[in-house]
Amino acid sequence: MKSYDVVVNHKGFVDLDIIDDMLHHLKIYLAQKESDKILRKRVYGLSVECLDNILKHSDLLEEEHELIINFPPRFIIEKIAENYLIHTGNIILNENKLDVVFRLEELNNLGAEEVNDLYKRSLANAEISAKGGAGLGLIVMAKTTREKIRYDFEKINEKFSYFAMQLNLKK
């Protein structure tokens, strides 16, 4: 029988204090339950990237907004046997959807070496965006998981969609 554990399950508003709290609990869990040091670092690093993406790239961050209440940001980590699944979700502008799909499809169609090469090129040419990122987050996720990134968009209205992503981290 496979073992199953919900390591982190957060649905709701996200800010730096909440992120710090989640990462603290994750660090304790990994120290106590995960013997593979490399896997611990990969899970923790991916979690930091995912939470950073939720915080920086959610296009609606008003805690009390009706859409946030009905479509809350989410961050869930499950451990199934020796593998980890990380689920994220946040609201994005429909006008940004095509760019995200393009970047994810580009990454999903690359092999491991090609992802590494893209990472090196992006690192060398990185420019900080208005949101404070250098565009490396999704590349780092693809590089770390070595798996295709699963994703979906649920249209909320004419302006916003809910962007859900799943990362599979195998031992």
What residue segments make up the domains of the chain, in order of their start?
4-169
Between residues 36 and 64, the one the model is more confident about: 36
pLDDT, position 1: 54
DSSP collapsed to 3 states, 8-57: EEEECCCCHHHHHHHHHHHHHHHHHHCCCHHHHHHHHHHHHHHHHHHHHH
Write down the architecture of domain 4-169 according to CATH: 2-Layer Sandwich (3.30)
> Out of 19-33, 37-51, 54-68, 134-148, which region has the weakest mean confidence (pLDDT)?
54-68
